[in-house]
Amino acid sequence: MSENALAAELREKIISDPEVVLEDRDLMRALTAANERAMGANIVDLRGIAMQRLEARLDRLEDTHRSVIAAAYENLSGTNQIHRAVLRLLEPSSFEEFLAVLQGEVAEVLRVDAVRLVLESLHSEADPALKRLGDVLCVAEPGFIQEYMGSGRGPARGVVLRQTQGLSRAIYGDAADWIRSEALMRLDFGPGRLPGLLVMGAEDPHQFKPSQGVDLLGFFAGIFERAMRRWLG
């Protein structure tokens, strides 16, 4: 096929379906650049400049769109995880089973490496009856939770996300050597009762960060403390 025939065929296709050219950003950019070269260096093509700015804005909008979709998907996935964990938490018929589910299946659903339930008590000495409950349950002196959450340095918060700190061995025991980030959820068991603390630890130092949202964990803590009231009597 001769060059003239090829040009005629290409021209015919463009005329019959111009959207193909208009929707091809690389082709439009090449045509605009060719037009600018044809006009010479002394002429500024404001149309070309406007198109470049619109393209840059479109790129930013597409990036934002992708980020919003990713965030929505992550939020939906997190919501489903919390719902599954809550449903499993409501099934046990004994406190021992409740703690076993918390440390086992709930931890797996939420993808955390350690779960601890801290209860303050006026008698914090180790009770032999507590040993059979495993290391998921920690008994501490009154005031420990406030100190551990760092509430003395600011307003009390219901949920704290952070990297682990100096007192973590009191929570995790030997596991404190590899737990790097944690979610702390303050528990209110009602009037006249000392507070509790639900702790989730992760080996990944970036799994729990202060910049993350805490709404889902706050919801989970609210369900958990209401379930705990059943066992506290």
My answer on whether 55 and 95 are in the same domain is: no
Residue 73 lies in a domain: no
CATH classification of the domain holding 208: 3.30.450.40
Place of tokens 């009037």: 191
Write out the chain's pLDDT in tens, 233 residues: 566 666 677 777 777 776 776 677 676 677 666 666 666 555 555 566 666 677 777 777 777 777 777 666 666 677 888 889 999 988 888 888 999 999 999 999 999 999 999 998 876 555 555 555 668 888 888 989 998 988 545 456 789 999 998 888 889 988 889 999 999 999 998 888 888 999 999 999 999 999 888 888 999 999 999 888 887 76
What DSSP assignment string belongs to the chain? Answer: --HHHHHHHHHHHHHH-THHHHT-HHHHHHHHHHHHHHH-TT---HHHHHHHHHHHHHHHHHHHHHHHHHHHHHHHHHHHHHHHHHHHHT--SSHHHHHHHIIIIIHHHHT-SEEEEEEE-S--SPPHHHHTT-TTEEEE-TTHHHHHHTGGGSS--SEEEEE--GGGHHHHGGGGGT--EEEEEEE---TTS--EEEEEEESSTTSS-TTS--HHHHHHHHHHHHHHHHHH-
**Residue 6: what pLDDT?**
66
**Residue 38: what pLDDT?**
61
Measured CA to CA, the distance from residue 83 to residue 212 in angstroms comes to: 19
Domain boundary among 32, 62, 92: 62
My answer on whether 124 and 44 are in the same domain is: no
What is the CA 188 to chain-centroid distance, rounded?
Answer: 24
Task: Classify 187 in phi/psi space as left (phi over 0), alpha (psi -120 to 50) or beta.
Answer: beta
Residue 140 lies in a domain: yes
Residue 102 lies in a domain: yes
My answer on whether 120 and 222 are in the same domain is: yes
The answer to whether the predicted template modeling score (pTM) of the entire model surpasses 0.85 is no
What is the CA 93 to chain-centroid distance, rounded?
Answer: 31
Residue 74 lies in a domain: no
Residue 70 lies in a domain: no
My answer on whether 50 and 103 are in the same domain is: no
My answer on whether 169 and 119 are in the same domain is: yes
**Residue 200: what pLDDT?**
95
pLDDT tens-digit profile of 6-58?
Answer: 667 777 777 777 677 667 767 667 766 666 666 655 555 556 666 667 777 77
My answer on whether 200 and 102 are in the same domain is: yes
My answer on whether 94 and 12 are in the same domain is: no
Provide the residue range defining the domain that includes 104: 81-232
My answer on whether 158 and 57 are in the same domain is: no
My answer on whether 39 and 118 are in the same domain is: no
What is the CA 226 to chain-centroid distance, rounded?
Answer: 24
Residue 72 lies in a domain: no
Number of domains comprising the chain: 2
My answer on whether 8 and 112 are in the same domain is: no
My answer on whether 49 and 138 are in the same domain is: no
My answer on whether 182 and 91 are in the same domain is: yes
Residues 6+ apart with CB under 8 A from 180: 163, 164, 202, 203, 204, 205
**Residue 205: what pLDDT?**
92
